C-alpha cells in the first residue's frame, strides 16, 4: 500500500462503506430477532477500525485537508455507527473494544474531516432524520433499554415497519 | 439509552433533549465523543465547524444542546491542558490549533465566531504561557493589523454614492416657414 499513495483515498472510501454496511446489517439482524451472532458481528465491526487506523497512519495521507463531500458523509456515518454501538468513550462501552481499538479510534478522530458541512442543504432532514445508516426501528428498540435492564435488548421486536429508505 | 447518556452529559438541557428525535441524539453524542477525543489529543479547533451549518443552527432545541456540549468539551479540555501544562507536556499541535481558532474567531457566521472567541479567550486566560509562543503572537498581531487597516480603509477608500436626477430640457421645435411669420412681416396699416 505504501507504494501506491494514489489508492489511499479509494481504499478508505471502500472500507468506510463496508463499515456502514456492516453496521446496517447488525441493526437489521437485531430488529428481526436473530440475536445469536450479534456479539460476533459487533467484534467483526470493531476489527474494521484497525485497517482504517493503519491507512490513516500514513504520514503523507491527510483526508482531513479539503475532503470531498462523499468522504465527509462516509466518515460521518462511521462515527454515527460507533456511537450507536457504544464504541466511543461512554458509560456503557461495548465489551469488544480492547485497548488497541480504543487507541485506533482516537487516532482516527485526529484525521477525521469536519462532519458537518457548511454548504449542506437541509442537513437535519437529509443527513440525520433520513440517514439510512440509522434504522428507526433499531433506534426505537434501543430507546426502551435502560442501563439497569440490558436484557431488554433481546425482547420481542415491535411490529412496526421501518419507515426509512434503506 | 442514548438519551439517558446525553442527559447525563448535559443535565441542564433535559427538557430540550426530550424534544429531540433519536437521530439528533446520536448526532449530539457523536459531537461530544469525537470532540472530546480530538481535544484530548490537542486538536481543539474543529469544534467550530459544527456551528457553520444554517439548518443545524436554526433548530432551537438542537442548537441549545450543541452550545452546552461545546461548553462541556471546552471545560474538559481546559482541565486536561492545565494538568499537562503543570507537567510541561502540552501537545505540540496546540499552537497551530490556536491559530486556527483565531482565524475562526473572525468567521462571518456569528455562532462559529462566538464559540471560537470564547474558547480562545478561556485558553489564553487559563494558560497565559501560551502567549510565549511566537507564531501565535505573530498571528494575533497580524489579525490586529488587518483590523486596523480595515478600519482605516473604511474612511480612506470610502465609497459614497450621490445620485442626482435631472430631466433633459425639451428640444426646440423645428423652425418651419409658417404663414404666421408672413403675417408678422406684414407692415401695419397706416
- Chain A partners within 8 Å of B1 (Cβ): 92, 142-143, 145-147
Partner-chain residue, chosen from A110, A142, A143, that has the shortest CB–CB distance to B38:
A110
> In angstroms, what separates the C-alpha of B36 from chain A's closest C-alpha?
9
**B149-161 burial string, b = 16+ CB within 10 Å, else e?**
eeeeeeeeeeeee
Assigned C-alpha cell, B125: 486566560
Kindly report the pTM of this predicted structure. Answer: 0.81
| Interchain proximity A123–B43, CB inside 8 Å | no
Q: Where are the domains of chain B?
A: 2-158
B55 to A106: CB separation less than 8 angstroms, yes or no: no
Structural domain boundaries of chain A?
5-120
Least CA distance to A148: which residue of chain B? B1
Angstrom distance (rounded) from CA B98 to CA B130? 9
SS3 content of chain B, % helix, strand, coil (to 5): 70, 0, 30
Question: Which residues in chain B are closer than 8 Å to A145, comparing Cβ atoms?
Answer: 1
Its ipTM equals 0.82
CA distance A149 to B114: 42
Q: Where are the alpha helices (DSSP H) in B105-133?
A: 110-126
Q: Tell me the chain B residues in contact with residue A91 when contact means C-beta distances shorter than 8 Å.
A: 5, 8
CB–CB of A80 and B26 under 8 A? yes
**Contact residues, chain B, for A82 at CB < 8 Å:** 30, 33
Q: Which residue of chain A has the CA closest to B56?
A: A124
A147/B22 CB distance under 8 A: no
**Phi then psi for B159, rounded to 5 degrees?**
-110, 115
Q: In this predicted model, what pLDDT tens digit does every residue of B18-70 receive, in sequence order?
A: 989 889 999 999 999 999 999 998 899 999 999 998 888 888 899 999 999 99
Tens-of-pLDDT digits for all 190 residues of chain B? Answer: 788 999 999 999 899 999 898 899 999 999 999 999 999 988 999 999 999 988 888 888 999 999 999 999 999 999 999 999 888 888 889 999 999 999 999 999 999 999 999 999 999 999 998 899 999 999 999 999 999 998 888 788 777 788 888 888 777 766 665 555 555 555 555 5
Distance in Å, alpha carbon of A147 to nearest chain B alpha carbon: 7
Amino acid at each position: 500500500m505504501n507504494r501506491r499513495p494514489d489508492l489511499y483515498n479509494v481504499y478508505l472510501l471502500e472500507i468506510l462503506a463496508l463499515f456502514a454496511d456492516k453496521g446496517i446489517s447488525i441493526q437489521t439482524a437485531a430488529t428481526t430477532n436473530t440475536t445469536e451472532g450479534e456479539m460476533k458481528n459487533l467484534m467483526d465491526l470493531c476489527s474494521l477500525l484497525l485497517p482504517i487506523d493503519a491507512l490513516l497512519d500514513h504520514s503523507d495521507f491527510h483526508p482531513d485537508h479539503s475532503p470531498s463531500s462523499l468522504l465527509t458523509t462516509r466518515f460521518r456515518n462511521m462515527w454515527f455507527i460507533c456511537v450507536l454501538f457504544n464504541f466511543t468513550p461512554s458509560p456503557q462501552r461495548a465489551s469488544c473494544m480492547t485497548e488497541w481499538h480504543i487507541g485506533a479510534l482516537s487516532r482516527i478522530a485526529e484525521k477525521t474531516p469536519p462532519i458537518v458541512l457548511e454548504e449542506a442543504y437541509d442537513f437535519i432532514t437529509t443527513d440525520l432524520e433520513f440517514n439510512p445508516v440509522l434504522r428507526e426501528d433499531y433506534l426505537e428498540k434501543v430507546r426502551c433499554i435502560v442501563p439497569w435492564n440490558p436484557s431488554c435488548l433481546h425482547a420481542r421486536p415491535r411490529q412496526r415497519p421501518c419507515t426509512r429508505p434503506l | 439509552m442514548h438519551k439517558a447518556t446525553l442527559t447525563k452529559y448535559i443535565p441542564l438541557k433535559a427538557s430540550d433533549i426530550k424534544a429531540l428525535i433519536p437521530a439528533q441524539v446520536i448526532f449530539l453524542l457523536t459531537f461530544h465523543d469525537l470532540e472530546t477525543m480530538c481535544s484530548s489529543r490537542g486538536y481543539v479547533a474543529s469544534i467550530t465547524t459544527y456551528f457553520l451549518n444554517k439548518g443545524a443552527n436554526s433548530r432551537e432545541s438542537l442548537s441549545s444542546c450543541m452550545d452546552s456540549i461545546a461548553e462541556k468539551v471546552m471545560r474538559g479540555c481546559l482541565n486536561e491542558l492545565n494538568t499537562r501544562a503543570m507537567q510541561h507536556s502540552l501537545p505540540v499541535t496546540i499552537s497551530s490549533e490556536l491559530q486556527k481558532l483565531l482565524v475562526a474567531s473572525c468567521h462571518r457566521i456569528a455562532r462559529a465566531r462566538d464559540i471560537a472567541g470564547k474558547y480562545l479567550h478561556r485558553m489564553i486566560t487559563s494558560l497565559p504561557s501560551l502567549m510565549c509562543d511566537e507564531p501565535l503572537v505573530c498571528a494575533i498581531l497580524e489579525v490586529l493589523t488587518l483590523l486596523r487597516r480595515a478600519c482605516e480603509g473604511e474612511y480612506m477608500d470610502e465609497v459614497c454614492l450621490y445620485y442626482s436626477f435631472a430631466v433633459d430640457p425639451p428640444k426646440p421645435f423645428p423652425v418651419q416657414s409658417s404663414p404666421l411669420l408672413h403675417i408678422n412681416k406684414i407692415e401695419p396699416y397706416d
